[in-house]
Structure 1
């Protein structure tokens, strides 16, 4: 895929090249992305999501850049187990699950993920039980709605419900989270109620500091990705996938275009390496 033509806006390609030029030993670029709707097309059954072959190839190329110049991360609302199993990211990729509540790193061999320890307090566990029970009651009255269970949250999914029924269920779910004093987020056909404060923006901020990153790239498609876009600055590179309103600097239309951005970044980094990079 090296040297391929990219169906991208010239300004975006210029920004990708400028971002690649910021890589420096000891101050790596942090290249992060959402999974669903970006590297994998959205599907009705979340367990059927798979990274496209072209996305996997692009991530493999980026993973070949030395760690002191670039670190990869996938930042998702999925649980860590689900993200690791379905994304099959290159070894060394940082995995951020449950919107930042879970974290690990892809290993080259079983068990697959090196986990950062995570445990709820007794109060949080009790609140999660009430959240889960309340969402289950809401979903039981709506055909096509179902509840996903996470270590620190429960999620009401309404993608398979009739639009009007799904909207009513989402409103009820949002009200439940507010009444319980939990952390409530609405995304595309989902309402997630978490019992710990976490966001994709917080996760990226922590990673940036830990890595002493020179700059951050982030690409996402959902409402929850806006929290990541909002914490990044003018020296970073943010790309929205899809038509919704966004705080990102750039926009692409489809998952194919999103992969083209990663290919362009891999090409730009290859050019930087061949020219000797920066001291």
Structure 2
């Protein structure tokens, strides 16, 4: 990504920092978690927030009207790995996890979530049985990971010897399993995710916008699920909002994410640098 940790690639990307600095109280700054604020790692439960991203996100969160995290992770997991509790600057943070099914409002320490669905546990049992059968048949299943998110099951292949081929081999059984259990199937970066709710990050973004009434809005993300939010922002531009989609271009990033973005950042460290640039622009306008 040249010599800069971030690079605007559209007119929106060139002007968004100025737009935020002009109207920080009217700004929604939302971010994904995995691959954006935290690095992509082999074990999803070890995806701790990048130290610089943690510092920079908290810095900007204290300066804008509404900071938010919109993620497919479960709420407890993102709060723990993101060190979101009791962090100066994050007192007004709004977290929409599981694509908006779970909500945590840090300002009131209020959690809103429906009961856990039984289908995800059933999917985990079925996938474990399938992998056991494959192993008995001589198929290499070493490294295939099952991540129980409560309302979703992630079937990861990044730790396997052949991640892409293994992901494709899993396609037929996970499609069938999702259909049998009435689960929504979401492809991701070397993962199939079976979700009990069909919500999108665009819908979660809309829910935050409805609460805040923002005039400027940014979404930072790195995966296919974030593209729905990117596209939603670009639709809102036609209604007079200033918007930008910021992509964390980590290793393995899918081309469609970059194609939908207005700013490209060099992974979580690049996101931190962009956030610092935003904070500096806002602070420079202060009396």
Normalised TM-score (structure 2): 0.80
Equivalent residues, number: 256
- Offset at residue 74 of structure 1 (A): 1.3
Distance 1:160 1:180, change over 3 A: same
The residue aligned with 1:263 is: 276
Tell me, what secondary structure is at the counterpart of 1:265? helix
SS in 1 for 2:18: helix
Give, in whole Å, the separation in 2 of the partners of 1:57 and 1:146. Answer: 31
1:162 aligns with 2:173: no
Query: 1: CA distance between counterparts of 2:61 and 2:246?
Result: 20
Q: Name stretches of at least 5 consecutive residues in structure 2 with no aligned partner.
A: 85-89, 135-140
1:137 is displaced (CA, Å) by 2.8
1:22–1:29 CA contact under 8 A, matched in 2: yes
Task: Name the Cα RMSD after superposition.
Answer: 2.4
Alignment check: 8 A CA contact 1:218 1:229 kept: yes
What is the correspondence of 1:1-279 to structure 2 with a 5 Å cutoff?
7-9=5-7, 12-24=13-25, 28-65=26-63, 69-89=64-84, 90-106=90-106, 114-120=110-116, 124-125=117-118, 127-140=119-132, 141=134, 142-163=141-162, 164-233=165-234, 234=237, 235-242=242-249, 243=253, 244-246=255-257, 247-274=260-287
Give unmatched runs, 5+ long, in structure 1: 275-279
Change (3 A) 1:9 1:190: closer
Task: Give distance in 1, aligned partners of 2:267 and 2:145.
Answer: 27
Normalising by structure 1, we get a TM-score of 0.82
- Residues 55-82 of structure 1: CA distance to partner in whole angstroms, max 9, x if unpaired? 12212212322xxx52111111211000
1:101-136 Cα distance to aligned partner (Å, 9 max, x none) = 21113379xxxx53113225xxx53x3344333333
| C-alpha distance in structure 2 between counterparts of 1:139 and 1:95, whole Å | 34
Counterpart contact for 1:174–1:186, Cα < 8 Å:
no
Alpha-carbon distance in structure 1 between the residues aligned to 2:17 and 2:4: 12
